[in-house]
Amino acid sequence: MNLEAVLFERFGYRSFREGQKEVIQEVLKGEHVIATLPTGTGKSLCYQLPAYVIGGPILIVSPLLSLMEDQVQQLKARGEKRVIAFNSFLSEEERRQALRDLSVYRYIYASPEILQAPAFIQSLKRAKLRLFVVDEAHCISQWGHDFRMDYSSLGDVWKNLGEPTCLALTATATKEVLHDIQTQLYLEHPRILTYSIDRPNIALYVEQVEDMEQKKLRVLETVKKLQKPGIVYCSSRTWTESLAMLLKDHGTERVAFYHGGMEHDQRLLVQQQFVNDQLDVICCTSAFGMGINKSDIRFVIHFHLPTQLESYLQEIGRAGRDGERSLALAFYHASDEDLSHSLIELELPSVSIIEEVLRYLHVHARNENGLISLKEFEQNVAVYLHVNETHWRFIKHHLQAHGIIRESWIHASMPLNDVHRYLVEVVQKRVEAKYRKLHVMKQFVHSSICRREQLLHYYEESLVQRPDACCDRCGLNLHDYEGTSRSVRLEFTDWKSELARLLKQSE
């Protein structure tokens, strides 16, 4: 089969990027594949193209609503009608109709949460899937930088669906993470295809500042001068809003903020404006960028560095997807470490939260003869104990693993002491692992050697050829990245009508 002909006919490209053809060939042979390709090198093509060859529907498990919607919109823009995403955008009637006719779709996108629904699994079985795709597969590994509890059941889902050909894709996976992906998915002899994480067209620059005021000043100076468009990453929602306001007050008008606390439609509007060149700069949390189809991002600035190199690598990889020269610039101050420590400690439930939830569970068990409605208990945990959703999902996942939560009920008469010890131990191990990764991140900041070599060394690679524009340790000059952006006037009356216009434009 002439894959290049399919590539041109369906996607308009004359040639494959590194790794794409090799992954596709293995998938078409029916081999299970775990593949790592750098951020921005077109991982989605590795499953989108085979769908036109293998003849049956494929399932793509995706971690984010925004990522699913972006992929769906891109396919529809190419004229693909046989695509659906199972998410909150579907009405109940649309969902029922789609489940009845699931086999007519070529691409079926779904979150790992909906794959827990027996009715959905039965519909997928009837559809006779030809390919099971796990996108952002590092989420399935407990050692991945963005581990999701809901991903850990995907191996069971895959077996339940009859073990169709499996393709797991990620951009940032160490050997430890790759092994964990293989184990969690129950893949006995997969083809593991790994390609260099290096993006030679992205120059790396880390600048240490004296205090937060100097950091804000440097962001103002560099954003004003650098060629646009660009992204500024922050570690908190508050900082995204204050930095966007600061940039606007100092002359950068085409700027907006983005974070998970915004309404979904407002986030979608900001995404669409950025993709359509109506915004030059986005100040955002890590929630922004995954799946955004914009190839000409010229810089990524980290106002706060992430707590691990994997996240840093994924975020800077959103620059320069067109292969043109781009910049990854990070500003660092010693006080950033306090914020990093807080983020690590807050990500998982503390010992006191675990004890409070289990104590509450024990009290309810005595009143309810040991059987408690899961839905009611979840509401009480949120309202009376003020346990946030992330912490509760972690505790819930392990209660399910111990058989205490089964379907819609909590069997609280079971002994909880062992679960308590287990939960505390798991949290302790994960926190220790996160602090080890933070230590590596700090080494990256403070080291005097080539930053590109450090990144490659972390992934057990060596630098084969140093690009002319490498990093600040190799003499990189920021002035080389100064320039102007396109001028597109931004005018709209209200965000609802503007969003409707942009979405209609992209159909």
What is the reported pLDDT for 39? 80
Q: What is the mean pLDDT of residues 357-383?
A: 84
pLDDT tens digits, one per residue of 480-491: 999 855 544 445
**How far is the C-alpha of 284 from the C-alpha of 128, rounded, in Å?**
40
346 SS3 class: helix
387 SS3 class: coil
**How far is the C-alpha of 61 from the C-alpha of 151, rounded, in Å?**
9
The DSSP symbol for 373 reads E
Q: Cα 266–271–276 angle (5° rounding)?
A: 125
* 367 confidence band (pLDDT: 50, 70, 90): low
Whether 304 contacts 238, CB under 8 Å: no
What is the reported pLDDT for 505? 53
Distances (CA, A) of 457 to 196, 215, 451, 461, 466: 11, 29, 10, 5, 14
- Structure-token match 């995954």, residue found: 290
**How far is the C-alpha of 163 from the C-alpha of 124, rounded, in Å?**
12
pLDDT tens digits, one per residue of 18-51: 999 999 999 999 999 999 998 877 899 999 999 9
Whether 337 contacts 344, CB under 8 Å: no
Give all strands of the β-sheet with 131-134 in edge-to-edge order: 83-86, 107-110, 58-61, 131-134, 165-170, 33-36, 191-194
Q: What is the mean pLDDT of residues 318-328?
A: 95
pLDDT tens digits, one per residue of 402-441: 889 888 888 877 778 889 999 999 999 999 999 999 999 9
Length of the chain: 507
CATH number assigned to the domain covering 203-341+477-506: 3.40.50.300
What is the reported pLDDT for 224? 95
**How far is the C-alpha of 357 from the C-alpha of 308, rounded, in Å?**
30
* 475 confidence band (pLDDT: 50, 70, 90): very high
**How far is the C-alpha of 70 from the C-alpha of 503, rounded, in Å?**
11
CATH number assigned to the domain covering 3-194: 3.40.50.300
Sequence-distant (6+) residues with CB within 8 A of 451 are 204, 206, 444, 470, 471, 472, 473
* 365 confidence band (pLDDT: 50, 70, 90): confident
Q: Tell if the pTM clears 0.85, that is, is over it.
A: yes
pLDDT tens digits, one per residue of 58-87: 999 988 777 787 788 888 888 899 999 997
Which of 62-76, 210-224, 310-324 bottoms out in mean pLDDT, i.e. has the lowest?
62-76
* 89 confidence band (pLDDT: 50, 70, 90): confident
Residue 341 has pLDDT above 90, yes or no: yes
The DSSP symbol for 482 reads B
Closest CA to 314 of 445, 471, 136: 136
Backbone angles phi, psi at 343, to 5 degrees: -60, -40
Distances (CA, A) of 371 to 353, 367, 382, 423, 443: 22, 9, 19, 21, 50
Residue 111 has pLDDT above 80, yes or no: yes
* 177 confidence band (pLDDT: 50, 70, 90): very high
What is the reported pLDDT for 105? 95
Q: What is the mean pLDDT of residues 330-341?
A: 93
Query: When comparing pLDDT for 393 and 503, which is higher?
Result: 393
Mean pLDDT of the chain: 90
Which of 281-290, 311-320, 408-417 bottoms out in mean pLDDT, i.e. has the lowest?
408-417
Residue 280 has pLDDT above 70, yes or no: yes
* 291 confidence band (pLDDT: 50, 70, 90): low
Q: What is the mean pLDDT of residues 314-334?
A: 95
